[in-house]
């Protein structure tokens, strides 16, 4: 039996999905008679992550004290390390008393079916100062132009805490049956493959040559048995490439350019926070929970715009307590194709290069090329991947 890395803050995963079909059906029936609220997309995504075991050791939504402690000190009241608040925030106080059950309805599925049932432990309020401070601590800003801060501040200030029983995984199972996987399922697959050293790669974009080679570098340098490409399948900011297109592009790259059985292509149901350093820590927590031993943290990881310094998401790992995480980081620099060396390199490992020695294209330039039906140079993007992306951009035009 493969000895696997332990989950975060627990000896076993704590998935909140109600696995027993009879119990789930019974709760589903009961849920229709309960008081209910349509939650925010962020709260729904938190439910999916709790259900899937990615947020182990959490078993529900945080109360105000835990959320404020996480904001200030990155730890729960119990002392367990945790980098971002996991909340059910509402704009109005629900008509319910503490101890009762509340049905949480899914804003992202037609008909707003019940996603989870929460046993309410407390109903509290964040004042404007507390809400803004928490936003500043997690996102580094309260600027409404920051997509994560804007989403956070628009959810409301009523904190409904308590354990949840998750009834389904929202739209992720139906829309991404080959890709969406729970932390439980990924651990099971890793064990089945007998992998001991596992590198996880986070992506919210299609993978270009630089990403592909970065994964290869990490696997070689860490002597890893396997790679888990773990893509975000939830809500992104306007203009980002939809998950189904990204999924197709990544699958094509792995099929053509990676040895058989060396990589797993998986995805998770979460909305991107764009919280830079704090989100990098959260990403590490749930990669540990899904069984990875190493996690690639790149330049401007989980960032957006100019809100974070290029390596801020790496530096934050130096500031957390020793032993806070069992998973190890593979810190990566920007990777690009070197014309001098005729291969992809980490830019910091090519000190004799000038900018002109690399094939560097901005995201805007690449999007414009693809929209014109023009493939980026093969040093930047695999032709098979470019083909899928060109079809997408031209269908959007």
Nearest Cα residue to 111 out of 26, 168, 63, 180: 168
Per-residue pLDDT, 365: 85
Give the pLDDT mean for 262-279.
Answer: 96
Place of tokens 């270009």: 208
* 6 domain-assigned: no
Residues 254 and 164 in one domain: no
In a domain, 15, yes or no: no
Catalytic residue among 205, 216, 251, 367: 205
Domain finish residue from 123, 150, 173: 173
Looking at the chain, which runs of residues are DSSP E strands? 36-38, 60-61, 89-90, 101-105, 114-119, 122-125, 158-166, 198-203, 226-232, 263-268, 294-297, 328-331, 335-338, 343-346, 358-359
Segment 248-267 mean pLDDT:
95
What's 228's domain CATH number? 3.40.50.620
Whether residues 256 and 358 share a domain: the answer is yes
Listed in sequence order, the residues at least 6 apart from 200 whose beta carbon sits closer than 8 Å to its beta carbon are 227, 228, 230, 287, 290, 292, 294, 295, 296
Give a yes or no: residue 103 inside a domain: yes
Across residues 130-150, what is the average pLDDT?
A: 97
> What average pLDDT does the segment 13-19 reach?
98
- Cα 82 off chain centre by: 15
- CA 250 vs. chain centroid, Å, equals 17
Is residue 46 included in any domain, yes or no? Answer: yes
DSSP 196-255: SSEEEEEESS---HHHHHHHHHHHHHHT-SEEEEEEE-S---TTSPPHHHHHHHHHHHHH
Domain contains 238: yes
Q: Which domain holds residue 102?
A: 21-173
Same domain (yes/no): 83, 219: no
Three-state DSSP at 149 gives helix
Q: Note whether 321 and 181 are same-domain residues.
A: yes
- Is 3 part of any domain? no
Q: Say if residue 334's pLDDT is above 90.
A: no
pLDDT of residue 1: 53
Task: Please state, for a pLDDT cut of 70, what percent of the chain lies above it.
Answer: 99
**What CATH code is carried by the domain that includes residue 106?**
3.10.400.10
Average of pLDDT values for 72-78? Answer: 97
Please tell me whether residues 346 and 205 are part of one structural domain.
yes
- Write down how long the chain is: 397
Count the Cβ atoms, other than its own, within 10 Å of residue 38: 14
Residue ending a domain, among 173, 206, 221, is 173
Is the domain of 149 the same as that of 188?
A: no
Is 349 within the bounds of a domain? yes
pLDDT, one tens digit per residue, over 49-67 is: 999 999 999 999 999 999 9
Residue that terminates a domain, selected from 147, 173, 199: 173
pLDDT digits (tens, 9 = 90+) for 311-326: 999 999 999 999 999 9
Please indicate, yes or no, whether residues 162 and 195 belong to a single structural domain of this protein. no
- pLDDT, residue 239, reads 74
Structural contact between residues 225 and 197, judged by C-beta atoms closer than 8 angstroms = yes
Query: Domain check: are 145 and 290 in the same one?
Result: no
Query: How many domains does the structure of the chain reveal?
Result: 2
Is 205 a catalytic site residue?
Answer: yes
Q: 153-210 pLDDT, tens per residue?
A: 999 999 999 999 999 999 999 999 999 999 999 999 999 999 999 999 999 888 989 9
Mean pLDDT of the chain: 95
Out of 24, 204, 251, 367, which one is annotated catalytic?
204
Q: What is the pLDDT of residue 204?
A: 86
Same domain for 186 and 155: no
Q: Do 100 and 139 belong to one domain? A: yes
Question: What's the pLDDT score for residue 361?
Answer: 84
- Say whether both 241 and 321 belong to one domain: yes
Q: Are residues 162 and 244 in the same domain?
A: no
Calculate what percentage of the chain has a pLDDT beyond 90: 89
What's the confidence (pLDDT) of residue 397?
66
Q: Is residue 9 part of a domain?
A: no
């Amino acid at each position: 039996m493969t000895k696997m890395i332990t989950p975060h803050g627990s000896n076993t995963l704590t998935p909140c999905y109600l696995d027993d079909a009879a119990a789930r059906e019974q709760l589903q029936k009961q849920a229709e008679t309960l008081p209910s609220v349509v939650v925010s997309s962020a709260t729904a995504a938190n439910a999916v992550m709790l259900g899937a075991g990615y947020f182990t050791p959490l078993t529900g939504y945080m109360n105000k004290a835990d959320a404020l402690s996480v904001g200030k000190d990155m730890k729960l009241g119990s002392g367990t390390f945790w980098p971002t608040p996991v909340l059910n925030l509402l704009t109005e106080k629900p008509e319910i008393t503490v101890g009762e059950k509340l049905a949480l309805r899914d804003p992202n599925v037609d008909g707003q079916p019940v996603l989870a049932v929460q046993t309410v432990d407390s109903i509290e309020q964040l004042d404007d100062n507390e809400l803004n401070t928490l936003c500043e601590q997690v996102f580094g800003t309260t600027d409404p132009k920051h997509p994560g801060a804007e989403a956070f501040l628009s959810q409301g200030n009523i904190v409904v805490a308590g354990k949840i029983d998750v009834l389904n995984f929202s739209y992720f199972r139906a829309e991404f049956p080959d890709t969406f996987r729970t932390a439980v399922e990924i651990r099971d697959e890793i064990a089945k493959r007998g992998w001991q050293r596992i590198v996880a790669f986070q992506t919210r974009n299609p993978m270009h040559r630089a990403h592909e080679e970065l994964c290869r570098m990490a696997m070689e340098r860490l002597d890893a048995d396997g790679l888990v490409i773990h893509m975000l399948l939830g809500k992104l900011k306007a203009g980002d490439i939809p998950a189904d297109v990204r999924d197709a592009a990544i699958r094509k790259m792995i099929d053509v350019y990676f040895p058989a059985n060396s990589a797993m292509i998986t995805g998770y149901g979460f909305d991107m926070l764009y919280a830079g350093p704090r989100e990098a820590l959260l990403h590490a927590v749930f990669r540990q929970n899904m069984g990875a031993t190493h996690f690639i943290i790149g330049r401007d990881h989980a960032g957006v715009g100019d809100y974070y310094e290029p390596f801020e998401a790496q530096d934050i790992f130096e500031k957390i307590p020793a032993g806070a995480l069992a998973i190890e980081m593979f810190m990566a620099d920007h990777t690009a194709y070197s014309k001098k060396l005729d291969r992809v390199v980490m830019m910091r490992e090519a000190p004799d290069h000038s900018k002109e020695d690399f094939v560097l294209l901005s995201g805007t330039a690449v999007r414009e090329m693809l929209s014109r039906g023009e493939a980026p140079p093969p040093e930047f993007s695999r032709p098979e991947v470019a083909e899928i992306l060109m079809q997408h951009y031209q269908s959007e035009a």
